[in-house]
Amino acid sequence: MSAIDTTPVAPLTVIGEDCSALARGAAILGTGGGGDPYIGRLLAEAAVRQHGPVPVVQIEDLPDDAVVLAVAMIGAPTVMVEKLPSATQFAEAVRSLAAYRGVTPTHLACIEVGGVNSTTPIVAAAELGLPLVDGDGMGRAFPEVQMVLPTLSGISATPMSLSDEKGNTAVFDTIDNRWAERLARTATVEMGCSAITSQYAMSGAEMKESYVRGSLSLCVRLGEALVDARAANEDPVAAVADVLGGQVVFAGKVTDVERKTVTGFARGTAHIAGMADDTGREAVLRFQNEHLFVEVDGRARATTPDLVITLDAETGEPITTEGLRFGARVRIVTAPADARWHSPAALELAGPRYFGYDLDAVRFDGTTSPGVRA
């Protein structure tokens, strides 16, 4: 059940009015964070209905001199579900950055594929009549601006724009991507804990070097695999693990969730009492927007940068950290991140120690990350 599924994937060529499979897959890759995919789906579908389908371009097919801007929602997912963005905010963020850089974008892109940020760029692309790149900067979701593969290639997050639903915009131009995170985060908090950003302007050539390929196609495939498994009376959780080349590592019932919205993030912990084969064991999930790691009986079972995914035990539907409820029956899937996340430099950027845990990175299969320094 844990071998990588090598079925050829039909790449996505267009995003139409039904974004359900894409949003469901995005929620899985969101590893608990990245915002409510239902809201992202509604916004994307409304934009496509109004402006027409969005063409999708494979990274290989991008001209080297393409001008690509990434678009995302930034802030605390706990707030995003209560404070909806305005319809014009997405395009406004793109226009603001394009004007600042003095460029005319040829394509838009997702910077993170997980959660709401797989679908938010669709809104901007539909409104601006631009094609969307089938890829992203992480192959998952991470909570901070600098935590993307382009940072490892020396690509600047800035100039980056922020726009809020009231009509305020900001542009930051920083000395490094950590400063982009610091300044954008405080502005986002002041804007009400969620905003739309355009960032990581890149050429086609830079995208080919630093981006994860086929991310939107993977979302659709994941979403379809989940629904197909249910329709065929097969195990949807196992189907998700199969598509991702991952493992089902724990089954249990949520006994406690502690959650705070601090410095613009949703941080917290969830305790899960084992059931079925895991009876008598306990798992603990720790998250900052996304799940950072899962411990089983006090030992790290899998950590960032690999994926820790919580699914409904029966339906296989992904559960975001803000959706974790006492008594919910869940299964936890771990899956490999893009291999580039396992270099020493990448672990410094997004490994457990960055998040304040004195812990070496553990891979989805329980082995030590190759990037851990001896």
Tell me whether residue 13 or residue 168 sits nearer to a second copy (CB atom). 168
Cis peptide before 105 (omega within 30 of 0): no
Taking the complex as a whole, the smallest distance from the CB of residue 334 to a second copy amounts, in Å, to 35
The position carrying tokens 């986002």 is: 188
CA 267 to chain centroid = 16
Total residues contacting a second copy (rule CB under 8 A)?
A: 20
Confirm or reject binding of residue 179 to a second copy (CB under 8 A).
yes
Confirm or reject binding of residue 142 to a second copy (CB under 8 A).
no
User: How far is CA 319 from each of CA 6, 81, 192, 266, 349, rounded to the nearest angstrom?
Assistant: 26, 14, 24, 15, 26
248-277 residues in contact with a second copy (CB under 8 A) are none
The residues near 307 (Cβ < 8 Å, ≥ 6 apart) are 29, 31, 140, 244, 246, 333, 334, 335, 336, 337, 364
Q: Which stretch binds a second copy (CB under 8 A): 46-54, 168-176, 316-324, 336-344?
A: 168-176
Residue 80: CB atoms within 10 Å: 25
Task: Classify residue 345 as exposed, middle or buried by CB count within 10 Å of its CB (0-12, 13-18, 19+).
Answer: exposed
Which residue, 255, 358, 349, 250, is CA-closest to 309? 250
Q: Using the CB atoms, write b or e for 290-301: b if 16+ within 10 Å.
A: bbbbbbbeeebb
Confirm or reject binding of residue 170 to a second copy (CB under 8 A).
yes
Chosen residue from 63, 167, 356, 370 binding a second copy by CB under 8 A? 167
Taking the complex as a whole, the smallest distance from the CB of residue 179 to a second copy amounts, in Å, to 5
Angle 345-350-356 from CA coordinates, rounded to 5°:
115
Q: Which stretch binds a second copy (CB under 8 A): 129-137, 185-193, 241-249, 267-275?
A: 185-193
| Whole-number Å distance between alpha carbons of 83 and 164 | 11
Q: Which stretch binds a second copy (CB under 8 A): 27-35, 139-147, 187-195, 282-290?
A: 187-195
Pattern 67-106, binding to a second copy, x per CB under 8 A? -----------------------------x---x------
| Whole-number Å distance between alpha carbons of 45 and 40 | 9
The residues near 361 (Cβ < 8 Å, ≥ 6 apart) are 303, 304, 305, 306, 342, 347, 351, 352, 368, 369, 371, 372
Helix (H) or strand (E) segment spanning residue 230: helix 215-231
Q: Which stretch binds a second copy (CB under 8 A): 25-33, 176-184, 250-258, 348-356?
A: 176-184
Tell me whether residue 173 or residue 348 sits nearer to a second copy (CB atom). 173
Confirm or reject binding of residue 169 to a second copy (CB under 8 A).
yes
Tell me whether residue 79 or residue 149 sits nearer to a second copy (CB atom). 79
User: How far is CA 37 from each of CA 24, 125, 153, 174, rounded to the nearest angstrom?
Assistant: 7, 18, 29, 31
Chosen residue from 3, 8, 104, 175 binding a second copy by CB under 8 A? 175
Taking the complex as a whole, the smallest distance from the CB of residue 373 to a second copy amounts, in Å, to 29
Taking the complex as a whole, the smallest distance from the CB of residue 163 to a second copy amounts, in Å, to 9
Q: State which amino acid sits at residue 238.
A: A
Taking the complex as a whole, the smallest distance from the CB of residue 182 to a second copy amounts, in Å, to 5
Taking the complex as a whole, the smallest distance from the CB of residue 326 to a second copy amounts, in Å, to 35
Chosen residue from 42, 83, 87, 182 binding a second copy by CB under 8 A? 182
Confirm or reject binding of residue 146 to a second copy (CB under 8 A).
no
Taking the complex as a whole, the smallest distance from the CB of residue 161 to a second copy amounts, in Å, to 9
Chosen residue from 82, 173, 256, 297 binding a second copy by CB under 8 A? 173
Q: What is the separation, in whole angstroms, between the first and last Cα of the chain?
A: 31
What residues line the site for a second copy (CB under 8 A)?
96, 100, 166-175, 179, 182-183, 186-187, 189-191
